[in-house]
Structure formats: C-alpha cells, structure tokens
Amino acid sequence: MNDVIIPDIDAIPLPAPVWLLRFLLNLTFILHIVPMNIVLGGGILTVALAWYARKKNRDDLHELASHMSNILPGAAAFTITLGVPPLLFVQVLYGPLFYTGAVLIAWFWLSVIALLLVGYYGYYWFSIKRDSEGKLPIWAGIVASIMFLTISFLYTNKMTLMIQPEKFAPMHHAEMQGFLLNAADPLVWPRWLHMLVGAIAVASLVIMIVGLVFHKKRPEYGDLAVRTGGMIFVVTTLLQLVVGVWHLLTLRSEVMWMFLGRDIVATTVLGVAILLALVAMVLVLIATRGKAVRSMTIAGTVVLAVVLVLMATVRSIVRDAYLVGKFDVTAQPTDPNWVVVVLFLALMLGGIGIVSWMTYAVVTRRGAEHMAG
Amino acid sequence: MYRMNYPVWDVPLLGGGLIIALIAIPHVFVSHFAIGGGIFLAWSERIALRDGNTRLLDFLKRNSLFFVLITLVFGAVTGVGIWFSIGLVHPPATSILIHNFVFAWGIEWVFFLIEIAAALLYYYSWDRVGPKTHNTIGWIYAGSAWMSLFVINGILTFMLTPGDWPANPSFWAALFNPSYWPSLFIRTFVCIALAGLYAMFMASREKPGDNHDMLVQYASKWLIPAFIGLPISTAWYVSTLPTLSKEIVMGGAPAVTIFAVMSVAISAVIFVFAYFIAYRNPQSVNIPVAVLFLLLGIAVTGFTEWVREAVRKPYVIYNYMYSNATLTTQVDEFRRTGILVASKWTTIKEVTDENILEAGRQVFTAQCAHCHTIEGYNGIRPLTRGWSHAFTSRAIAHLDELKGFMPPFTGNDAEREALAAWITALDPAVREQIEAGNVSFNLGSVQQMGEIVDAAGEAVWDDYCSGCHTVSGGRNPIDTKVVGMSNAEISGLIVNLENLAGFMPPFDGSDSEREALAAWLAGLDEREGGAQ
C-alpha cells in the first residue's frame, strides 16, 4: 500500500503548449503575490503601528497606520482578482496533484473561503470605521490579520503537500473526510515563515512609498514613513537570511544541493536573488539615512521586484525537482487553440488599457472642472 | 487508460453536492445582482444627470459603498469558493471543464478584473471626476460585469447541453451550445430583476416621504423586463433541454417538479407583490417588506439552481460523464474489469468472502458517494430501509432503469453483491444479527438470494394478482401486457393500477413487495423464453 498513487493526466489535450501555460502561471503568480504580500505583511505592520502609536500616544504614527489601512481593502481585492489566473493555470497543468492534495485536506482548504470573507470585511471595517477616540479599531485589524495569517499557512500547507505525491496514498488510506493537515512536514514551517517574512519586507516598502507620496508636501511626515518602513525592511531582510538558510536546509537533500552548486541554473538564480536582496537592503538603508530618498527608495523597490521574480523562479525549480520521476508536467497531450489564446491575450491587453484609462481619469480628476461646487 | 482517478472526499451528512450548493446559491444570487446592479447604477445615473434628478443621484451615491461591499467582497470570494468546492467534490469534472475552457475562464477573468477596478473607482470617484466620466466608469462596470456572464454562461450551459461535443470536441461549439442563448436571456432578465429588488431594499431604508416613494416606485419598474421576458426565454430554454431532463421536470422525479413549480410560483408572487405593494403603494415598502422581497428572490435562485442541477442527472456533463465520474464510454469496461481495479484509491481489488463488507464500502465510495451520504443528504440508509439483500442487489443491477436519474452501476457481479451486502448491513437490525453471528454474508449466499427475489415476487403475485390474472394464456394473461417492459415501467404501472383501463383495485402491498413483483414480472420474458 506504499505505492505512489497519482491520478492520470486528463485525456483532453491542453489548449495551449505547456511552456506558454507555465509562463502564464508564473507571470500571474508574480502579479498575485505583490498585493498578497501587502495584504498579509501590510495588515500585520499596520496593526503593529496602530498599537504602538496608541501606546506611545504618537499621532504621526497613527496617521501612518491609517494611511496603510486605506490600502488594505483594495490590495485584498487585487490579491483575489489576480489570484484567479494562477489558480486556473495551476489546475490545468498540475490538476492530478492539485486536486488530490486539496481533497486530502478538504475542510482546511475550503475554510480558506470563510477566512477570506472575514478577513476581507475585517480590513474594510479596520480602514473605514473609527473608535470613540477617532482611532483605528485595532481589534478588527487583528482579527483580519489572523485570518490572512491562517490562510497563508493553509496555502503553504497545500502547496507543499502537492509536490510530494508520495504522501497521498498513506494520507488517504488513513482518513477520507478531509480533516488532515500537512503540518508535521518539516518543509512547511520554514517555508511559511520565509514567505511571511518576505511579505512583511514587501509591505515595509509600501510604507516607504507612502512616505515618498507625502515627502514634498509634508517632509517631516514623509521622512517618518520612509525611516519606519526602511528600518523594518532592513531588519526583515536580515531575518530572512536566517529563515532562508533554514528553509534551504530542510529541502530534500538532492534538491538542496541543486542550489548549492550541483545545478548551475538553480544556484545562479538563488545566488543572484540573495545578492540583489542585499543590494535592495543597502539602497533602502541609504534612503533611511535621508540621502537621495526618492531615487534610493525607487531603486530599492525595483531591485526587490526583480528578487520577487527570481524567488518565484526558485519556487518553480523546487516544485519540478520534487516531482522528478513522479509527475512530468511537460508530458501532456496538447492541441493548441491559437484563436482562443490570442483572443485571451488581446482582451487582457485591452483590459489593462481600460483599467489604465479609468485610473488615469480618476487620478487626473478628468472632467472635475465642470463639477458644481 | 483513463481510470477512476481521484480520491473521493467523504462528507458525512451533508454530502459534497450540498457543500457546493451552500456556496453557489448565495454566489449566484449576489453575482446576478452585481451585474444587474451595474446596469442599474449606470442607467439610473444617466437618467438622473439628464433630468437633473439630484435626489436619485444622491441616492445612488450614498448606496454605492454597500454595493461595492456586497458585490466585490462577497461576490468575488464566493465565486472563488465555487472553484474550491467543485475541485474538492468533483475533481474529474472540474478537470474536464478546465481543460476545455481554461482560456474562456481566462477571458472571464479579464472582464472580472475590469469589473473590480471599475467598481472600486466608481465608488471612490464620485467627487473626483466629472459626471460624464463617472457615468462612463459606471457603464464600463456594467458592461464588463455582463460580459463575464456572457462567458461563464457558456460553461454552465455546456454541462447540461454539450450538443455534439462528446463526438466532436470543438471549443466554440461547446461554449455556444444549444441552451446558451436562452440561458443568457434568462440570466440577463434575472439580473435586471434582482437589481430592482436590491434597489427597492436600498430605497426602503430612506426616510418615509416623497423621496422614499419615488425611489421604491422607480425600483419596482426594474422588474418589468423580467415579467415579460422570463416566461418567453424560459420556454425557449426548456425546448433546448434533453428529453430525459424534460421528463424529470415534468413529473419524472416529484421533488424536482415541486421545486420547479415553487420557482415559478414564487417568481409570480414577486411580480404580483411588486405591482400591488411597491408600485401601487410604495409608502408601504419598509425594510422588512423589502427584505421579504429579497428573501423571495433568494428562494427563487435556490430552487431554480437546484432544478437546473437536478435535471442534469444522471450526468455531470451530459452524455459524457456520469455524476459518479464514470465516463459513458467506460461502463462496459468497468463492468468487465471491476470498479475496484479501475479505481486508483481502493485498497481492495478483489471481493472475497472475508472482505465482502469492506469491499462493499469501497465500491460505495467509488460509485455512489459522489451523490449519496450514508445517513444525511440523499442518505443511502434511509433510502434502502427494509430492503432485502437480494432486492438491493437487483435494484443495483437495474439502477438506471429503476431510477432514470441515476447512472448505471458499473462494477462486476461480485462487486454488486458486495455493495448490496454492505448496504443491507447498514440496517441496525441486520447489523445486530451479524454481530450476534446469526447472519453472515458471502458471495455464494448472496448470489443465491437472487433466486429468492423471484420466489418473493411469485408469492406477491399469488397473493394479489392471481385471483384475476393468469401468467400466460387463459382469460386474462399478464405476460402479453408486460412484454418488453422494464422493472421501472412495470413498477410505475403497479403504483397506478386503479387508473389503468380494466377497473383494477389499487395495489396495497408494501414498496418492497411491489418492487419484487415488478422484478418478477419483468423477468417473465426471459424465463418463458428460456423454457421454450
């Protein structure tokens, strides 16, 4: 009964080549994790800021928390919206692993929906309502943050289970009602922590960007935001070095060695990513010292964006390495339907155009000069 | 070879189908009014700007946050929830759909993205942009929301009417399948009507007075398109359905018929109420009344979606995959090889006297658990209460004939006997007997019980029918009357005896006696043929 059981690949051919679907999966995944990091890390940071501001009676920090809280609901909307395409592409490419992993932890996986509803409404509450003293209702932020923390843990759990199909049969034979969790897996905790610390780092850059927005009009407040965000970024990046090494060590040994020289591509991608993270840290450190604040913050953000892309690539390399000999994503029948693929891509470009136009119209207050009053 | 691929999520009491329904029904309700609401906001804003109706404009402005909170958050999250739930409850069907339609969903997502961005910007920009630009953003919201329906409607209707897709797989034919257009019309009318109900609710929260009455009356007019369009498009839709689906709605399965009637009746109630209460007496529409309207709307949504799902039985994708994840092309093969071998997740591959009950349980999981629980929703224990062993086995063998909305049993003979044994043993009385050592199941004894059902049927015949009928020849022979009929058909006749020509008394035996009699009569052909 210890055979590896993996469902067969669907007999219906894929409507596009595997390389294109994988590209779309990784691209949309990267687009998804940017707002996701803001929702997860930003929520925790905003709650912490609001709590600290209240404790120390600091109105400036409370204002910063308030500005951050305004970003959270929109970020949640885009996390969900941009989460849909990677969910589609991972299912079409990795269906046998994706669905089986989900069924094994079914109730936990399904609970994501309820947690998401509470967390999402929680962020709206947190950002719109004010308590009797006119302050942010911290409890709402705490509840919402706990929801998103739990969701992130469940996702790590699921995605880690998915790449280890050898666990499927023993788990299924032990329990069929979907009450299992993959929490005892040594890979889960460091992977989750790695992602969580990363999310806080990304969100701390958002605090810096809030600072940049206000820098011209209110230099003092702008400086405070840049310094606060920058210090958090530096600390979390250093912490990430420790967590990242821990995560690397928990990988299956042949996969770990791929990143330590045995595979040139894997080693290079991870090496460059770590190096660039350090570069971003230095740039941010310079900004927090008040030197070339704008350009250093922007440069740090751009470098970190590259790090995110590289880290998503590392994630994809780990997934394929774990599945070697068990599931070959490239070995699937394909029958490309180019008309639909091109239509999708064209509509996506058109959609981005429309959203950009609307955003531009709102930012530039289009037609507002004719408004009465 | 494509096999029974995925493990089955065992959901006690509720069953997987109910899990999907619990998420899908609120989603369908909210997503339809998200679309209708978009049209409502954009159109009403346009009218208000044209007529200089500041009261209406102000109303729209005040209520757009609530709209965003409901549609964006609840609509979007439950939409993702449907994805999660169908992937858990029916991975094989979900996999088929995604292989066919991944880019259709991709396109739907593009419209969804525009919709979300437009809704957020619409809400945030009331005072930031000029009225014309603001109204344009509203129309972009409405247009993209409706376009997402335009796409998803193809995937939803595909499952019930895939047309000739199973033989000739084409993306476009699958998307624009036979029931696509009538369904699109139905859903669009429903969207506009739900927007009216929603607006009525919003209007009911206004202070009593002219403003309140004007808004309630205005909202009630949004039900008119549905009042005219729904009956026509529904008739058109029904005409495109497979014959079996029509039969199921028209009385083949009483629960489905009742739900369909409820859906139509409640819709009619909504229209009547809307005219007499909201339009004629707008001042009487307070919050509880408006909530009642909304609840009626949810009830219609629930009944209708339930009927739409029910008429698809016994398939999950019509003529292609049965509800229990067996492809129609696999039935013969699985009957030959056995379902335990064909299913990847069973630990028993061959039924023996020793493992018969556990094997039966695993057959149940592979073949039945997609729709049946043991005790709760569609519970197999209550459904088979009092059934004998042999009768159960026989019912399983003729599942698709006895119950038109069930798929055929696709296992070998030994698996059928094992399943029957396990089902029989669900009866607490039988379980007690097993534990006391008085009853045991083994393949030999179970198969012998097959003969007992004939004996039982013959006994019922002797008791109830032989007073007037002969089996063959003589004054009133039965064989010529039931020749070529299935179990189910004969059983249907017996239930209805008093209405048949010939002044027969009603059959007042028990259900299991009736089934035994029907089975015995259906077997007459075979036995007489064999004798000749």
Amino acid at position B118, single letter? A
Over residues A192-213, mean pLDDT: 97
Q: How many domains does chain B have?
A: 3
Instruction: Let me know whether B137 and B178 are in one domain.
Output: yes
Task: Enumerate the residues of chain A whose CB falls inside 8 A of the CB of residue B113.
Answer: 81-82, 351, 355
A-interface mutation test, from B5, B136, B148, most A Cβ less than 10 A away = B5
Instruction: Let me know whether B86 and B193 are in one domain.
Output: yes
Classify residue B532: in a domain, yes or no.
Answer: no
What are the DSSP calls for A95-109, one per residue?
HHHHHHHHHHTHHHH
Report the residue from B95, B117, B171 with minimal CB separation from A355.
B117
Classify residue B91: in a domain, yes or no.
Answer: yes
Classify residue B522: in a domain, yes or no.
Answer: yes
Is the Cβ of B444 closer than 8 Å to some Cβ of chain A? no
Alpha-carbon distance of B219 to B456, in angstroms, equals 64
Q: Is A182 in contact with A108 (CB distance < 8 Å)? A: no
* B6 contacts A7? CB cut-off 8 A: yes
Instruction: Let me know whether B392 and B477 are in one domain.
Output: no
Residues 110-169 of B with CB under 8 A from A: 110-114, 116-118, 120-121, 124-125, 127-134, 137, 140, 144, 169
Instruction: Let me know whether B364 and B435 are in one domain.
Output: yes
Alpha-carbon distance of A94 to A323, in angstroms, equals 11
Instruction: Let me know whether B461 and B431 are in one domain.
Output: no
* Predicted local distance difference test score (pLDDT) of residue B455: 64
Classify residue B4: in a domain, yes or no.
Answer: no
Task: Give which of B208, B349, B223 is closest to B281, Cα–Cα.
Answer: B208
Task: Enumerate the residues of chain A whose CB falls inside 8 A of the CB of residue B103.
Answer: 15-16, 337, 340-341, 343-344
Task: Give which of A103, A109, A104, A101 is closest to A155, Cα–Cα.
Answer: A109
Single residue among B322, B347, B381 that ends a domain in this structure? B322
* B10 contacts A368? CB cut-off 8 A: no
Q: Is B32 in contact with B125 (CB distance < 8 Å)? A: no
Classify residue B8: in a domain, yes or no.
Answer: no
Instruction: Let me know whether B62 and B43 are in one domain.
Output: yes
Single residue among B420, B442, B464 that ends a domain in this structure? B442
Is the Cβ of B365 closer than 8 Å to some Cβ of chain A? yes
Over residues A238-258, mean pLDDT: 97
Instruction: Let me know whether B370 and B484 are in one domain.
Output: no
Task: Enumerate the residues of chain A whose CB falls inside 8 A of the CB of residue B105.
Answer: 84, 88
Residue span of the structural domain in which B343 resides: 337-442
* Predicted local distance difference test score (pLDDT) of residue A48: 97
Alpha-carbon distance of A15 to A8, in angstroms, equals 18
* A344 contacts B95? CB cut-off 8 A: no
Q: Is A264 in contact with A301 (CB distance < 8 Å)? A: no
Single residue among B442, B468, B494 that ends a domain in this structure? B442
Instruction: Let me know whether B181 and B311 are in one domain.
Output: yes
Residues of chain B short of pLDDT 50, as ranges, are: 1-2, 447-450, 452, 530-532
Instruction: Let me know whether B46 and B94 are in one domain.
Output: yes
Find the CATH number of the domain harbouring B473. 1.10.760.10
Q: Is B6 in contact with A103 (CB distance < 8 Å)? A: yes
Please state, rounded to an integer, the average pLDDT across all residues of chain A: 95
* Predicted local distance difference test score (pLDDT) of residue B453: 55
Classify residue B378: in a domain, yes or no.
Answer: yes
In the A/B pair of chains, how many CB contacts fall below 8 A? Answer: 209
Phi/psi of residue B322, each to 5°? -70, 165
∠ CA B269-B270-B275, nearest 5°, is: 100
Classify residue B531: in a domain, yes or no.
Answer: no
B169: left (phi over 0), alpha (psi -120 to 50) or beta: beta
* Predicted local distance difference test score (pLDDT) of residue A318: 97
Task: Enumerate the residues of chain B whose CB falls inside 8 A of the CB of residue A11.
Answer: 2
* Predicted interface score ipTM higher than 0.85: yes
Report the residue from B3, B80, B98 with minimal CB separation from A80.
B80
* Predicted local distance difference test score (pLDDT) of residue A315: 96
pLDDT digits (tens, 9 = 90+) for A46-86: 999 999 999 999 999 999 999 999 999 999 999 999 999 99
Instruction: Let me know whether B19 and B106 are in one domain.
Output: yes
Instruction: Let me know whether B74 and B150 are in one domain.
Output: yes
Instruction: Let me know whether B425 and B458 are in one domain.
Output: no
